[in-house]
């Protein structure tokens, strides 16, 4: 059965490579951009930058929200019926990969993925489908470096500092991010026994606060702390936990990931808190570049790179506006 599934998938991928051999002219090019959570600011920004590409290149962009597999398959059929030549997708479920590939081939549509990479039945990436995603490990390493640099600026010694690893290990990218941070901490003298796991029940600030509080109460003798996790909310929760047990802001170094509104609002507070930085991830490349790549594919026959991984930029209280501007967010 697995051999049959593999053969079917291989046939679908082969079909994708030969469909629409006749390039579409700019005015005839129609490209879909399907996202799993259309109400989320990240995806709104991806659409905004994809729109920018469409205006510059002169193609039609069709934006579709598909929160589940059924809506996604319907969206692909809809694009086929509209005469589109290809689409970019962030799927609600990466395990739908073989089905998405087959559906695209049945509708003579080229496809590439953004943010979340499709996998096969065995959980292996579909490497023949072009993909642009985030390098979770690199982003984690940037977090770790930001923490190390701040520790050095404060004159902290690794052996006197505790680290809160706010963890959500059900999500592979969460593991990659925190392990990336840990690798940099260890390379700069941090001992494994000073890194304490704080597993979250959910990926929000409240769950992180609860998890971090347990760690802080169990190690009350440590007065200097660093914190890192999946996102800004994880680190903000850890920072709130340090405040709740009476640790002052100058005894805490928290670096998040994302550059979410919650992080920006923290930077805007009159008095600095223990949340000292965030690695901002820009949706610009993910929206503008993927839409442009798909246009070049359908209009000029130039296939995108099979794998493109982006990283982020560290922003702090005094630099976040400039970093956002450089990333094209403001």
What is the number of alpha carbons within 13 Å of residue 315 lying toward its C-beta? 29
pLDDT at 5 over 70: no
DSSP letter for 288, please: I
How many distinct structural domains can be found in the chain? Answer: 2
In a domain, 234, yes or no: yes
The CATH number of whichever domain residue 226 belongs to comes to: 3.40.50.2300
Same domain, 92 and 164: no
How high is the pLDDT of residue 6?
46
Range of lowest pLDDT (14-18, 20-24, 110-114)? 14-18
Rounded CA separation 226/206 (Å): 18
By residue count, the chain amounts to 330
Q: Give the pairing type, strands 224-228 and 313-316.
A: unpaired
In a domain, 3, yes or no: no
Same domain, 145 and 251: yes
In a domain, 7, yes or no: no
What is the number of alpha carbons within 13 Å of residue 325 lying toward its C-beta? 4
**pLDDT interval class at 17 (50, 70, 90):** very low
Angle CA 260–265–271, to nearest 5: 140
Contact 86, 32 (CB under 8 A): yes
Rounded CA separation 102/97 (Å): 9
**pLDDT interval class at 3 (50, 70, 90):** very low
In a domain, 23, yes or no: no
Taking residues 226-230, report their average pLDDT. 97
Q: Identify which of 40, 39, 46, 99 has the alpha carbon closest to the alpha carbon of residue 69.
A: 99
Query: Of the candidates 241, 260, 281, which is a domain's last residue?
Result: 281
pLDDT at 294 over 80: yes
In a domain, 319, yes or no: no
Q: Is 288 exposed, middle or buried (0-12, 13-18, 19+ CB in 10 A)?
A: buried
In tens, the pLDDT along 295-307 reads: 999 999 999 999 9
* Residue 221: strand, helix, or coil: coil
Same domain, 110 and 177: no
- Which tokens belong to 226? 């660093």
Domain that holds residue 60: 30-129+283-310
In tens, the pLDDT along 258-284 reads: 998 899 999 999 999 999 999 998 888
Same domain, 201 and 160: yes
Q: How many CB atoms are closer than 10 A to CB 93?
A: 15
Same domain, 289 and 277: no
Radius of gyration of the chain (CA): 22
Same domain, 170 and 52: no
Residue found by looking up tokens 């001992």 in the block? 191
DSSP letter for 223, please: -
pTM: 0.73
Same domain, 194 and 261: yes
- Which tokens belong to 218? 């169990």
Contact 283, 49 (CB under 8 A): yes
Distances from the Cα of 126 to the Cα of 98, 122, 131, 326, angstroms: 8, 10, 9, 33
């Amino acid at each position: 059965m697995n051999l049959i599934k593999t053969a079917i998938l291989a046939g679908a991928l082969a079909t994708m490579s030969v469909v629409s051999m006749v390039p579409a002219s700019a005015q005839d090019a129609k490209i879909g951009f399907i996202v799993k959570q259309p109400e989320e600011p990240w995806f709104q920004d991806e659409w905004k930058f994809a729109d920018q590409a469409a205006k510059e290149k002169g193609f039609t962009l069709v934006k579709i929200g598909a929160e589940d597999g059924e809506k996604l398959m319907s969206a692909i059929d809809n694009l086929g019926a509209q005469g589109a030549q290809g689409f970019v997708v962030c799927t609600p479920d990466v395990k739908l990969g073989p089905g998405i590939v087959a559906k695209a081939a049945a509708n003579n549509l080229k496809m590439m993925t953004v943010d979340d990479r499709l996998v096969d039945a065995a959980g292996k990436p579909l490497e023949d489908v072009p993909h642009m995603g985030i390098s979770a490990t690199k982003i984690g390493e940037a977090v770790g470096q930001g923490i190390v640099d701040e520790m050095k600026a404060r004159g902290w010694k690794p052996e006197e500092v505790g680290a809160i690893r706010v963890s959500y290990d059900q999500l592979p990218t969460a593991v990659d991010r925190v392990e990336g941070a840990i690798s940099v901490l260890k390379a700069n003298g941090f001992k494994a026994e000073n890194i304490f796991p704080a597993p979250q029940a959910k990926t929000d600030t409240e769950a992180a606060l609860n998890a971090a509080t347990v760690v802080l109460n169990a190690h009350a003798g440590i007065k200097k702390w660093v914190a890192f996790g999946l996102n800004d909310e994880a680190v903000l929760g850890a920072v709130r936990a340090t405040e709740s047990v009476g640790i002052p802001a100058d005894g805490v170094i928290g670096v998040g990931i994302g550059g979410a509104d919650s992080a920006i609002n923290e930077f805007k507070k009159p008095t600095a808190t223990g949340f000292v930085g965030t690695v901002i991830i820009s949706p610009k490349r993910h929206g503008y570049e993927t839409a442009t790549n798909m246009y070049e594919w359908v209009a000029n026959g130039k296939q995108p790179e099979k794998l493109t991984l982006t990283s982020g930029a560290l922003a702090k209280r005094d630099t976040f506006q400039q970093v956002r501007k450089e990333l094209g967010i403001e």
